[in-house]
Amino acid sequence: MDPVRRRMISSDTAPPVNATVESRSRNGTNTKSNAFEGHQQQREVHPQVHAQTDRLAKEAKLEETEFAAKANLLTAEAVQRLSAGGKVTGNSALDRWREMADKALGLTPATRHSYEGHIKRFLLTTNLVDRPISAASFEHVDKFVNAQDEASVSTRNMRKASLDNFFKVCTAEGLVVRNPATLSKVKLHALTFEQKEPKVRMPFSDLELDQLSKLKSPFWTPACHLSLEYGLRISAIAKLERASFEKPGRIIVWTDKHDRRIELPLHPETMRLIGGVDDSPFERPPPRWVFPEQAAVASDPSDRAKLSVYFSRQLKKLGMYGKSFHSLRHTFATRRAKLGDTIDEIDVEFASIEKAV
């Protein structure tokens, strides 16, 4: 056969020089090779590429993880630790929660303070302060919420709410795969009758109110009046601003409990008790707070409970026990109810009473 004819036959039957043939090796891996004149030549990989690939696989522990998963040796907790923030401790997670409480959660200072106290106790009792927060489980949360102590239902609900809020942040930040507090419930069947029943707060009697009027205090005297006439909490009274009285004949208060606006008719006795509001443009601007000293205490979530303690001391001096400042709000609601208002009507009109009777 002449050389020309031989070259034409070869070009028709042989694969092109740059053709790629994919074959499967004995170990099941795919290899690509160049086909030339019927021979497969495996494409060479540079040794440095091999070394880098092996190093990355070892660092990610891909082989060990795949093997354990196939052998059903990985629990949900182990997978969580591998895929989430396995090295983030409980304390670090709490720091992150504090940041989000300031930026995004919209919690009032009092609620944030209460939540943080419960979260700290949870981390301590579960030994998660310096351990990975990803190790937290439903069992941890359930044991904390339903601890065998004398806590009431409301306290246990607060524990649950605190941890649910905390782990929602942890989940959103990728510190845990799931929220272990989601399915947690307060086990009412395990509690006593006293733990289940809310505390009964009795209003002040007429005789007790007469005794209370004997208080001669620049703060407690007007504070009692403001609670009896407007149903305000002690924190709202302590942080009362002079700007609340700028609208003629009205008192406007923004409560820090639920950030609710209250606008009510101004009682004639109120301005006399608080000392009036100096709005003269020729005088030095008045201070922001009506009661600056008490406002400083109420503005600190860790100190605000002191106001209730101080009032209890005042009651003891008058020989009264079993009552608190909150009882004044119940007295206010009871008076409104006797006038024919329902609790829902009281709540709508005054915006600060929450099923007080």
CATH at residue 305: 1.10.443.10
Asked if 192 and 210 sit in the same domain, the reply is no
Instruction: Look at residue 295 and give its three-state secondary structure.
Output: helix
Query: Where does the pLDDT of residue 200 fall: very low under 50, low under 70, confident under 90, or very high at 90 and above?
Result: confident
The number of domains in the chain is 2
Structural domain contains residue 39: no
Model confidence pLDDT, tens digit, residues 2-25: 554 454 444 444 444 444 444 444
Overall residue count recorded for the chain in this entry: 357
Mean pLDDT of 217-239: 92
3-state SS assignment for residue 213: coil
Per cent of the chain over pLDDT 70 is 68
Query: By C-alpha distance, which of 120, 158, 161, 159 is closest to 143?
Result: 159
Per-residue pLDDT, 38: 44
User: Is residue 316 domain-shared with residue 219, that is, in the same domain?
Assistant: yes
Residues 246, 174 within the same domain: no
Q: What is the pLDDT of residue 111?
A: 87
Residue whose token pair is 């090295």: 87
Kindly state whether residues 183 and 217 are assigned to the same domain. no
Predicted local distance difference test score (pLDDT) of residue 333: 85
**157-195 pLDDT, tens digit each:** 999 999 999 999 999 999 999 999 999 999 999 999 998
CATH number of the domain residue 189 falls in: 1.10.150.130
pLDDT digits (tens, 9 = 90+) for 71-108: 454 455 555 444 545 589 999 999 999 999 888 888 88
Range of the domain at 217: 206-350
Q: Give the pLDDT band (50/70/90) at residue 258.
A: low
Give the percent of the chain with pLDDT over 90: 43
Average pLDDT value over all residues in the chain = 78
**Domain end residue (candidates: 196, 221, 251):** 196
Q: What is the DSSP letter of 304?
A: T
For residue 225, the model assigns a pLDDT of: 94
Residues 180 and 220 in one domain: no
How much is the pLDDT for 115?
Answer: 94
The pLDDT of residue 305 is: 86
Is pLDDT of 136 > 70?
A: yes
Over range 44-60, report the average pLDDT.
58
What's the pTM?
0.63
Give the C-alpha separation, 102 to 327, whole Å. 33
Q: Is residue 291 part of a domain?
A: yes
Side chain identity, residue 240: L
Contacts of 61 (CB under 8 A, 6+ apart): none
Which position has the higher pLDDT, 218 or 339?
218
pLDDT confidence of residue 293: 92
Contact between 158 and 114 under an 8 Å Cβ cutoff? The reply is yes
Provide DSSP, 239-291.
T-BGGGG-STTEEEEE-TTT--EEEEEPPHHHHHHHT-----TTSPPPPSBSS
Query: What is the spatial distance between Cα 138 and Cα 164, in angstroms, rounded to a whole number?
Result: 11
Q: Give 51's pLDDT tier (boundaries 50, 70, 90).
A: low
Whether residues 186 and 104 share a domain: the answer is yes
Residues 337 and 237 in one domain: yes
Residue 41 resides in a domain: no
pLDDT in tens, 302-353: 888 899 999 999 999 988 988 999 999 889 888 888 877 766 665 655 544 4
Average pLDDT over residues 42-49: 56
- Averaged pLDDT, 256-278: 79
Among residues 155, 177, 196, the one where a domain terminates is 196
Domain identity same for 166 and 264: no
Contacts 24+ apart (CB under 8 A), 171-179: 173/85, 173/96, 173/100, 174/84, 174/85, 175/84, 175/85, 175/88, 175/93, 175/96, 175/133, 175/134, 176/80, 176/84, 176/85, 176/133, 176/134, 176/136, 177/79, 177/80, 177/83, 177/84, 177/134, 178/80
- Of 167, 196, 225, at which residue does a domain stop? 196
Residue 25 lies in a domain: no
In a domain, residue 85? The reply is: no
Q: Tell me what pLDDT residue 131 has.
A: 93
pLDDT of residue 168: 95
pLDDT at 37 over 60: no
Given a cut of 90, whether residue 142 has pLDDT beyond it is yes
Q: Are residues 211 and 346 in the same domain?
A: yes
Whether residues 255 and 186 fall in one domain:
no
Look at residues 134, 164, 110 and name the one whose alpha carbon lies nearest to residue 302: 110
130 within a domain of the structure (yes/no): yes
On whether both 264 and 338 belong to a single domain, the answer is yes
In a domain, 75, yes or no: no
Whether 241 and 315 share a structural domain: yes
- Residue 171 domain flag: yes
Of the candidates 51, 72, 50, 69, the residue with the CA atom closest to the CA atom of residue 61: 69
- Per the DSSP assignment, residues forming a β-bridge with 24 are 30
